[in-house]
Chain A
Amino acid sequence: MTTAVVLAVYAVVGATLGAVLLRRASWPQRAPRLGIATWQALSASTLAAMVLAGAALSVRLPSLSTDIAGLFRACLMNLRAGYATPAGSLATTIGLAVALSVGGRALWCLVLALAGTRSQQRRQLRVLAVLAHRDTALGALVIDHSSPAVFCLAGRGRPIVLTTAALAALAPVELAAVLAHERAHLRGRHHLLVTATRGLARAFPGVPVFRDANEQVACLVEMVADDAACRGSRPEVVASAVLALADGTAPTTALAAGKSSVEVRLLRLQSPLSPLGPSRRFVLAGLVSVLIFAPLMLAAVPAIAAADVDHCPLGDSALTLTW
């Protein structure tokens, strides 16, 4: 029981307070890859904690042992014993419901998001095959269109696509920077990251950690790609490329209060922040590891504690006293 409560509290705190703390932090801009890893770890951690909380409520983990079959049998016995008392059966049912619904919902929405992305990519690739010309010098596809845009697609061929308007708007050095940026997206499999965060945000709408991870990871992948572009070009060149392509004829979205993501990127490019020192990176990497393993450790605490006990704790007294 206490394990379940601890895990549930951990999940709620992580999903709310954790998200707030991470969103307010300024270090992710200085180490965007680490920022992305931390958001993913926080999301996975709170999700796992909620599922394990439900599991801990319904099935008291027997003592740790390497006998997997024995472990399963003991778990089943515990599950059945859980239904022995009315209070126990209520707890067990709630626990199972929570674990299965949270875990199932997350899995379902992730699969749906991935499938949706794949099918849209396939459709776009089909249209590109007939609409676009391959520019072998650039190693990219060019589409005849009046609005400047550059984008990349995952999927077959992993093409980078530019419109004729974009080619006209960019100076040669800017073009090189833009291509380097897009290649960084493809190398880093950023489509997958964005799809995953979107899937979880759709799975649990309104939950701060998933909603914020979705927004922040999208910004951070652009920063990772901007950094890659800066390795081959001057930051001012990348910045002017950003502005050249942000100026378009397509209908623009209304700006939310505060800085637009374009402004954030430009500010970051114009006054490059000092990268995080190795000691801070080490601490943050440690944080990511803690986040990933914490739910499992918390769930395993009673099992570890029971490792010394050599009898099966299913006697009536043991059941009522050790809840």
Chain B
Amino acid sequence: MRAFGDLEAAVMERLWSWEAPATVREVLEDLTKQRPLAYTTVLTVMDNLHRKGFLLREREGRAYRYRPASDRAAYAAELMGEALADSGDRVGALLQFVEHIPPAEVTKLRAALDAAADARQRRR
């Protein structure tokens, strides 16, 4: 369902920022301000998000009112927590560019890097 990827993000974005449960119609009205969309498209996306566990819903008459299962910060923290995990826990699912090191170490290495750059500059 890669075609829906951006739409899923857009829907979650609105629900997180509104901080109030919303129906498909309410989300659709907001989304169509940016691009034309069909009701069924948004309905499918929100239904998928519910199925994947990102949205909870309650029946309201004939429609559902959706709300996020968890706030954005919680998802981001969980994802980044895994991404920045101790190398011992490394599952191999993702490869991080570089692990974080203590600030004292950073200062020391930066000084060494600058010294090397100066030396190169002087040689020219």
Contact = CB atoms under 8 A, between A and B. Distances in A.
B63 interface: no
Nearest to B13: A130
Given A218-B87, A250-B84, A252-B102, A194 B95 contact: yes
A185 B95 contact: yes
A243 B97 contact: no
A133 B52 CA distance: 19
B76 A121 contact: no
Nearest to A130: B12
Interface residues of B, number: 43
Interface string B79-110: 11011101100111111111111110110011
A131 B79 contact: yes
Given A149-B83, A152-B95, A270 B100 contact: no
B106 A247 contact: yes
Contacts of B49: 130
B95 to A, nearest CB: 5
Interface in B52-80: 52, 54, 72, 75-76, 78-80
Main secondary structure of the interface of A (DSSP, over half): helix
Contact of B97 (A118, A182, A260): A182
Interface stretch (A74-82, A140-148, A279-287): A140-148
Interface in A101-141: 113, 116-118, 120-121, 124, 126-134
Contacts of A245: 97-98
Contacts of B91: 116-117, 120, 198
* Pairs A-B, 9 closest by C-beta atoms: A248-B100, A120-B93, A195-B92, A150-B97, A250-B84, A151-B96, A194-B92, A130-B12, A247-B106
Interface of A: 113, 116-118, 120-121, 124, 126-134, 143-145, 147, 149-157, 161, 163, 178, 181-182, 185, 190-191, 194-195, 198, 218, 221-222, 236, 239-243, 245-253, 255, 260-263, 265-266, 270
